[in-house]
Amino acid sequence: MPEARATAGNEPDVGDVPVTVADVLAAQARLRRYLPSTPMHHAERFGVMLKLENLQRTGSYKVRGALNALLAARERGDLRPVIAASAGNHAQGLAWAAYRLGVQAITVMPHGAPQNKIAGVAHWGATVRQHGDSYDEAYAFARELAEQNDYRFLSAFDDPDVIAGQGTVGIEIAPFAPDVVIVPIGGGGLASGVALALKSQGVRVVGAQVEGVDSMARALRGDHRALAPVASLADGVRVKVPGFLTRRLCASLLDDVVIVREAELRETLVRLALEENLIAEGAGALALAAGRRVAGKRKCAVVSGGNIDATVLAGLLSEVRPRAPRKPRRRTQELHPVEPASAGHGRVTPASLVLGITTHPHIPRDAPPAHPSVSVVAPAAQHAAFEEEYTW
């Protein structure tokens, strides 16, 4: 992948794309009142840190982008009803955000959308319209309704405010100082936002897609054909054409895109449930499934969502027999943010994202004032503690 050009302040330059690190930081300031930070979990059997967005409100990271977009629109004085097309998680995130802010929301979902996701949207009071057999057909119908009724159309991924909101996932990961972060890709909103947040920290960002559902990987190779994605357990990333903005951001910022086989995805989802006691949907297990193909000593995979139908999960648990993992080579320590040599836990601030500075807010009151450290690199001992515990 081509790398972003270096600019003043070490902020990645992605040309004239209308979303920057500053927008991600503004999104963080908006969202902290409404959304909690999701946990980081060290999956010892996988040797990977996991960012648990399956524990976010509505069970997916998507609520971040939807809520940030509604809050930003309110700041601009745009109070129109909002309409979106979604296979499920964006619709649920928008419904929850609209409920919290008192905004009218309409969601268009394809007929094949999982019933648990349709029920989740209706639970928060949004109007549900089902149309077409794919996301792309639902998208075209939603755009038509938006033009006819003067609704604001909110893309699930190709919107600056949505991308900035998804980027807050990266801000929460940064204090743990991974050397590589793996992110699932559908339309590219999450990958774009996380890469914006982390590239100035020197972190590699790798996308993950499923074989036959790889429109972004093909687009980055110059293949822009709109091919219908194959059926996949990862229904949340079945996008025929990636976004215009997200394609440009991913081309500038991603280090690689890894393609995962469907069988690998199914096995990883079952292993997450049986070995880590974590429930993920297909797209949610995608980044972890790609982990074995990505080099790194401090790998982090984003578990993007956990909204899986109970019948689908039950079928997987009864059908898939994962291979037994190998035993660990050494003991591990519990996961915690990296502590620079001065003291206290690192926290990402506007300065740290642009300049690589970590501040220390958790210092006892009677301690002398601490000066910012200019590094978020882990000490050697901590580096070793997070080496992979299993060979996949």
**Would you call 62 a catalytic residue per the annotation?**
yes
Residue 121's pLDDT band (cuts 50, 70, 90): very high
Domains 8-61+160-319 and 62-153 share a fold: yes
Which residues lie below 8 Å from residue 298, measured CB to CB, with a gap of 6+? 49, 176, 177, 178, 179, 180, 378, 383, 386
Region 69-83 average pLDDT: 97
Q: Contact, 118 vs 89, CB < 8 A?
A: no
pTM of the prediction? 0.81
The pLDDT of residue 46 is: 94
Q: Which of 164-178, 216-230, 343-357, 370-384 has the lowest mean pLDDT?
A: 370-384
Which range is most confident: 16-20, 165-169, 200-204?
165-169
Residue 13's pLDDT is what?
A: 54
Q: How far apart are CA 52 and CA 117, in angstroms?
A: 19
Mention every residue, 6+ apart, whose C-beta is less than 8 A from residue 164: 19, 23, 24, 26, 27, 65, 68, 193, 196
pLDDT higher than 60, residue 7: no
Q: Is 200 an active-site residue?
A: no
| Confidence band, pLDDT 50/70/90 cuts, at residue 114 | confident
The predicted-structure confidence for 41-64, as pLDDT tens digits, reads as follows: 999 999 999 999 999 999 999 999
pLDDT score at 210: 96
CA distance 120 to 307: 9
- Position 353 scores a pLDDT of 56
For position 166, what pLDDT does the model report? Answer: 99
The pLDDT, as a whole number, for residue 116 is 84
pLDDT grade, residue 17 (50/70/90)?
Answer: confident
Q: Which pLDDT band holds residue 266 (cuts at 50, 70, 90)?
A: very high
Reported as a pLDDT band with limits 50, 70 and 90, residue 340 is low
Domain ranges of the chain: 8-61+160-319, 62-153
**Pick the catalytic residue: 192, 304, 352, 373?**
304
If one compares 293 and 323, the residue with the highest pLDDT of the two is 293
What CATH number is given for 62-153 in this structure? 3.40.50.1100
Residues facing residue 48 across a β-bridge: 43
- Asked whether the predicted pLDDT for residue 364 surpasses 70, the reply is no
Are residues 197 and 170 in contact, defined by beta-carbon separation less than 8 angstroms? yes
Tell me the CATH number for domain 8-61+160-319. Answer: 3.40.50.1100
User: Helices 21-31 and 189-198 sit at what angle, rounded to 10 degrees?
Assistant: 100
Range from 16-20, 81-85, 231-235, 263-267 carrying the lowest mean pLDDT: 16-20
Q: Kindly report, residue by residue over 135-173, the tens digit of the pLDDT.
A: 778 999 999 999 999 999 999 999 999 999 999 999 999
Query: Which position among 62, 117, 199, 299 bears the catalytic label?
Result: 62
How far apart are alpha carbons 295 and 103 in whole angstroms? 44
Query: Which residues touch 275 (CB under 8 Å, ≥6 apart)?
Result: 43, 45, 325
Q: Give percent of the chain above pLDDT 90.
A: 67
When pLDDT is cut at 50, 70 and 90, the band that residue 15 belongs to is low
Indicate the pLDDT class of residue 329, thresholds 50, 70 and 90: low
What mean pLDDT is reported for the chain? Answer: 84
